[in-house]
Amino acid sequence: MAKRIWITADTHFGHEEAIGLFARPIAAGDVQGMDALLLDQINTRVARGDHLMHLGDFTGPRVWKGDEGEISMRYAAELRSRIFCKRMELVRGNHDPARKRIKELFDDVHDVHSFRGWSGGDERIVCCHYPLRTWQGIFDGAVHFYGHTHGTLEAVGRSCDVGVDCWQYGPVLLDELVERITSQMPPARSELLPRRQPMRTPTST
């Protein structure tokens, strides 16, 4: 992997309602201004040789099929061309199209991305657009990064919302996040609550 890895989510490029919904510091209706702010925050922080992971909702809601789908793809491609870094991965969110449609714009596209061996340490990283209540390696120190909730959901264990609305409208270094979050102890198996779901009897045996 690249020496510096950055992570972000929930840019919602082109989504006019995002300005008010997420209290972004842009005049109401100024979509071009919002897009310019977000692109500037990426390009100011992320160098050309760095690696950017985007955890979903690259654009806001759009139609991705038919003639409108072609317009959406051209819009997304134009945005990607304005991001200077060469290497960029996407973990798909609810507003992103099917992998086979969007993969040409990114170096790789995932639904969930779990990996080890980045530049800063050996903890497992589990990336998903959606916040998980539990994840691979949670009791062994694994950390979980997500988006989708725009800072409205309390973190569980070693997890963190990496959306732009939590980080001054731009990406954050993966190493910085890992250093912050690994200062917390991972949950212990002894802290597991008793089973909350009732025992059920299957209707067919």
What are the residue ranges spanned by the domains of the chain? 5-191
Task: Write down the pLDDT at residue 205.
Answer: 62
* DSSP conformational letter for 82: T
pTM, entire model: 0.92
Q: Over the stretch 122-149, which tens digit does the pLDDT of each residue have?
A: 789 999 999 999 999 999 999 999 999 9
Q: Indicate whether 191 pLDDT > 90.
A: no
Task: Write down the pLDDT at residue 15.
Answer: 98
Task: Write down the pLDDT at residue 120.
Answer: 60
Domain 5-191: CATH class, spelled out: alpha beta
Q: Say how far apart CA 150 and CA 110 lie, in whole Å.
A: 20
Task: Write down the pLDDT at residue 1.
Answer: 47
Task: Write down the pLDDT at residue 52.
Answer: 98
Average pLDDT over residues 31-51: 97
Distant-in-sequence contacts of 63-66, Cβ < 8 A, 24+ apart: 64/97, 64/98, 64/101
As a whole number, the mean pLDDT across the chain is 93
C-alpha gyration radius of the chain: 18
| Beta strand spans in 5-119 (E) | 5-8, 51-54, 87-91, 108-110, 112-115
Q: How many CB atoms lie within 10 A of CB 154?
A: 8
CA 143: distance to chain centroid? 14
